[in-house]
Structure 1
Amino acid sequence: MPFEAPQRAGQADAASRLIRDNLSNRSKTMQNAVPAAGEAMPAAMSPEYHEAWKRARGLAKELSRALAAAGDAEFAHIRPAGTMCPIAFGNAPQEDPLLLAIDAYKKGCADYRELPDDDPVAEEAAIEATYGAPMQVLTEWEQPARSREAVVAALELLKSEHFVAGGMGIALLDACIQFAKGEMF
């Protein structure tokens, strides 16, 4: 005998009505429903339909060029007029310049550690060829971090390198503080 959940009187009728009403409302909102077997396929699209899509594609290309000219990593989400939130903008994920600079410094440090340390005279040239330039970039850094990942990377670098004071330490702390305050741009 299959299990049947106990129901109060009228509860089954109410559930049936709710399901029926939801299905009825769903079919009203589905504008381009797929025809059922045996139904006629829609006629070929009208010239107006094709012209509307041609215009939409042209406007989309124009919007794309305008977003590119703005210089940000913005994106636009456009829906037909009359729908909820027909136009929305957002930020596409992008690399944080501070994170890139920290990664370059870490790579330079790793490259330096791979060099033989038997020539103290060439040490200055080795530093310049590996982590020197990225370290200078970080020491002179003035922009705020733009992502949580960059803040974490900066704080981890400060901790691992014991740069709590000094040029790079102050610059990285400033970048993190500005991000935390919401001063990203």
Structure 2
Amino acid sequence: MTNHALTRRAALGAIASILATAGATAPSAAIPVNDPLIDAIAAFRAGLDDYDRNARLEDEEKLDAYAEASFGLPMTVIEEWERPATSKQGAIEALRLALDEMSSFEASPTVPPMVGAALAYLEGLQS
């Protein structure tokens, strides 16, 4: 595993709340969707992108600190999420994130195809 994956695992459960930011995973619908889950996922993806682009440190302690500063807070928000998505697009973004994360971390072999099936169904629904 890369330092990125180890750092992310070490950071699980280590950080607390987030302000939503615009980011890489904006809703694809023509009408803007007001769903806090979409904002939380976008902030997490933006933090991961920042980390991937800029974390070129050799010191493990500094890498951990940069992980916490870049994606730690948004990751905690998502890990502690307990409300349903408030839109179809929010549900889609949640499933996309789950599939992305499964490519980095081990999951039961049954999980990726089932999440993929649910995502494909939701993506096919009319808005």
Larger radius of gyration: 1
Q: CA deviation at 1:122?
A: 0.4
Partner residue of 1:125 out of 65, 71, 74: 65
Q: CA deviation at 1:118?
A: 2.3
What CA distance in whole angstroms lies between the structure 2 residues aligned with 1:118 and 1:94?
A: 41
What CA distance in whole angstroms lies between the structure 1 residues aligned with 2:53 and 2:32?
A: 33
The sequence identity of aligned pairs, in percent, is 39
| TM-score calculated relative to the size of structure 2 | 0.53
Q: Number of aligned residue pairs: give it.
A: 78
Does 1:150 pair with 2:96? no
Post-superposition, which runs of at least 4 consecutive aligned residues in structure 1 deviate over 6 A? none
What CA distance in whole angstroms lies between the structure 1 residues aligned with 2:45 and 2:83?
A: 19
Does 1:138 pair with 2:78? yes
Q: Is this contact kept in 2: 1:108–1:134, CA < 8 A?
A: yes
Unaligned 5+ segments in structure 1 are 1-91, 166-172, 181-185
Partner residue of 1:102 out of 37, 41, 45: 41
What CA distance in whole angstroms lies between the structure 1 residues aligned with 2:53 and 2:106?
A: 26
| TM-score calculated relative to the size of structure 1 | 0.37
What RMSD in Å do the two structures reach over aligned CA positions?
2.7
Task: Please state which structure has a larger fraction of its residues in strand.
Answer: 1
Q: Deviations over 1:37-64 (max 9, x none)?
A: xxxxxxxxxxxxxxxxxxxxxxxxxxxx
